[in-house]
Amino acid sequence: MLAFSVRYRHDDLPFPMVVLIFVAAFATLAISFWPYIIPFTLTIDDAAAPQSSLAFMFWGEGLFVFPLLLLYSVISYRVPSRMWLEFVWRNLRYDESYLIRRLRQRAEQMAFVRVSASHRPFA
């Protein structure tokens, strides 16, 4: 699968496959130790907090703080991404990338190279 992705330049496939392999390996390790946290010494039931602490964490953190954290994460992700999309949309043209245009402008400003209109490959 990786060789196929590299050969045909499918760059969106290798990362999810590596994540899947990692999750599968971690799940296999967790299942092999079940029900022990420390092998043959400490089980999950022995390591758990008292019921009152778990209930407090569920109601306090799980139903109040965690949704606020998710909302903040979504907002903080969407605002810069929207600004980035607007920036790209404003500064890219179909026939010329933003980087090439900026490099040409910088070169003309510094007077190292005067690029004439007939020598512009992307204009």
Each residue's pLDDT tens digit, 51-69: 999 899 889 888 889 999 9
- At residue 31's C-alpha, the angle toward residues 26 and 35, to 5°, is 125
Averaged confidence pLDDT in the chain: 78
Say if residue 112's pLDDT is above 60. no
Cα–Cα distance, 30 to 37 (Å, whole number) = 9
Query: Which pTM value belongs to this model?
Result: 0.39
Say if residue 2's pLDDT is above 90. no
Provide the residue type at 23 as one letter: V
Choose among 85, 84, 123, 87: nearest CA to 104: 123
pLDDT tens digits for range 5-42 = 777 877 788 888 889 999 999 999 989 988 898 888 89
Give me the pLDDT at residue 9, please: 77
Report residue 50's pLDDT band, with 50, 70 and 90 as the boundaries: very high
Whole-angstrom Cα Rg for the chain: 27
Render 70-122 in DSSP notation, one character per residue.
Answer: HHHHHHHHHHHHHHHHHHHHHH--SSS-HHHHHHHHHHHHHTS----GGG-S-
